[in-house]
Chain A
Amino acid sequence: MAASEKSAQVGGATLKYLEGGSGAPLLVLHGELGFPGWTDAFEHLSKTRKLIIPLHPGFGVGDRIDWIMNMRDQACFYTRFLQEQSLAPIDVLGFSLGGWIAAEMAVNNAAQFRHMALVAPFGVRPPSGEIRDLFATPTQNYIDASMFDPVGAPELSKLYGEPGPKQYEMWEDARAESARLAWAPYMFNPSLPHLLGGVKGLPTLILWGKDDKIVPASTADVFATAIKGAQVELFDKCGHMPEIEKKDQFLAKLTAFLAQ
């Protein structure tokens, strides 16, 4: 891995995070299954950006923080991290559950971000259909459902191919902490669409696979409608993880957006 583990004290608790690459800092917020490993996308981005990847407390690496009980608590915790490390304003890239955290941070204070890129984020109720229930789905089945074509994505087996006991324990940690934060309503906050309307002047990109079986792609419209000027990129034949299934297109759109 081309990143080193660091830690910071935030609100009396320890936050572990990874730092790798060089260039302008980019905050990366990982998804509900924990840090996936140093993906090809991270490797590519780290050539021009310094990636700062907090390891969400309780998601398999860092200890959980007892008083963080919902996603807004988690978002405020990261806002404080950015302030105290003098990292704001910063570009942010959030995947799935991490996209929800980024959106909550933006409604708290949009000025802490320069650009916000959200990849199939949780956080709002889909206009039709439902968000797939991670809490009653074994992780391997959930990962398979995250792909349009699990067999056709070689990086998937590199990241998740052979889960041993340690990987299982980390997944269970991540699933447990996801449950603590977002058991009900399941993976959305009813106030978020209303508050997103207050996010102004923040360039925003929403990236989504058209065949997402975790969060229906129609949910992209809710974000695009709420956040004035947000751009939407939808990928054909692509599930919940375009960063893996449509890596090249994903990186092209993302880097062009961040350079704006």
Chain B
Amino acid sequence: MHIGTFTERPYASLAENEVYRNASFFGVSNKHFDPKVGADLYHRYLDQNVAAEDLGFDVIMLNEHHANPFTMGAVMDVEAAILAARTKRVKIALMGNPLPITDPLRLAEELATIDMISRGRLVAGWVRGAGSEQIANNVNPAYNRERFNEAHDFIQQAWTRPGPWRYEGKHYHYRHVNPWQKPYQQPVPECWIPGLVSPETVIWCAQHRYPYLALATFLEPTMEMWDMYADEAERQGYQAGPENFGYLQKIVVAETEEKAQELGHAWLYGGGQPAFARPEWMFPSGYNTKAATARLAKAFTNPETGDVALASATYSENIDVEAAKRATLATYKGFQDSNQFIVGTPKSVLPKLRHVMETLRPGIFICWHIEGGTVSQEDAMTSLRLLGTQVLPEMRKYAKELGLTSPDEVKPGSRPLPASGKRQPVVGKISRAAQ
């Protein structure tokens, strides 16, 4: 199993009332941003990722969002290039580059550069980008999936087909494709796809034999999606295994339960993780496919009135900040009960982690370790150190015992189907029944 770390790299000095008042991280004015504070934070997060390598983690994961104090990684590839030079061993997983909003030729060059500087430790990851990314970058959301597919296929070609050649696609056009930056990993870098259990993406991943990394989603829908992946894998003629699946788990570890709970609360900073929660920014025109719109319409219809909640904005300028805070705090215990947050001492978090590992059987496990408005560098480093020294070795034992193979141990998509042609289960049945 690959075990990694991740933080959103928030602009943590933002007063959280600003986020509550705006009912979203996205949209808060950048007048609150101080570049001197930003400089300190970038160094803090870079140092933490370097420390993660020293503590024995296999992967450091970065992400990208724009115009958003929740994540300072708007230019993730720059951070990745620095980490490529400052680390020696870890995989650098970019989860992910939002293809529709980028210039794919430039992206092919950037990623190949990072792969060379790291001498082959890049894990590329492709995403559609949240609705707000389309707005912040002014890229037509109605062509989001078309652009995603076309940019993906173009980049594979740019990396593998000797140039120069000309490209005339639907959304992208190039006179002269001949990048002099080619991936260190041949023919193309390793690739995992992060997602929030969108069925279209899960199926696409299975077809491309890309590992699918579920981003801290609830266990039950995650299992359904992994079954869907495995079914598609069967249609494609292979058996999915742990190497096809990754999971991102929110986790806080401290020396005492009390301290862990105190830090756990920090996760509710600014209203918790649904950072793009206003429908006008989550779902700009055409961002969802017709099938996804139909699913949403059904899911958000009030059975009593027949109204669709997403048809109108819930945001009000007169928001009651204190009431919103109370409502957010009230969710804290429930998130722990459902394993969305695992909070405790090294000893108390291990059985919960084992439960997740047995249930989902992932070959990649990323610990989303604590960052929030009030979390000090010292507390964050303590959590990371305890994870590395006391939790990680035990997780490795579990992984071995449970046969949770990483993509380095078994090439994703290389596992043959049983002679019957019918696939084996990919998720743990016993834990599922126990849920």
Contacts and interface: CB of A to CB of B under 8 A. Distances in A.
**A associates with B:** yes
Interface of A: 134-141, 162-169, 171-173, 175-180, 183-184
B311 A180 contact: no
Interface size class of B (residues with CB under 8 A): 20 to 34
A135 B297 CA distance: 18
A171 B308 CA distance: 12
Nearest to B139: A183
A180 B311 CA distance: 20
A180 B143 contact: yes
A164 B309 CA distance: 10
Contacts of B312: 138-141
B311 A138 contact: yes
Contacts of A138: 279-280, 310-313
Contacts of A178: 285
A176 B287 CA distance: 8
Contact of A162 (B280, B307, B310): B307
B280 A136 contact: yes
Contact of B284 (A136, A162, A184): A136
User: Among B142, B311, B312, which residue has the most Cβ atoms of chain A within 10 A?
Assistant: B311
B162 interface: no
Interface of B: 135, 138, 140-143, 279-281, 284-286, 288, 290, 293-294, 297-298, 301, 306-308, 310-313
A140 B140 contact: no
The 3 closest A-B pairs by CB, nearest first: A176-B286, A140-B312, A175-B285
18 contacts: A135-B141, A136-B135, A136-B284, A137-B280, A138-B280, A138-B311, A140-B312, A141-B280, A162-B307, A163-B307, A164-B308, A165-B294, A169-B293, A172-B297, A179-B284, A179-B286, A180-B140, A183-B142
B147 to A, nearest CB: 12
B290 A162 contact: no
Contacts of A162: 306-307
Contacts of B294: 165, 169
Given A138-B279, A179-B140, A179-B141, A164 B284 contact: no
Query: Which of A136, A141, A164, A167 has most B Cβ within 10 Å?
Result: A136
A164 B286 contact: no
A97 B280 CA distance: 21
Contacts of A164: 301, 306-308
A177 B142 contact: yes
B101 to A, nearest CB: 13
Contacts of B135: 135-136
Contacts of A163: 307-308, 311
Nearest to B281: A136
B286 A168 contact: no
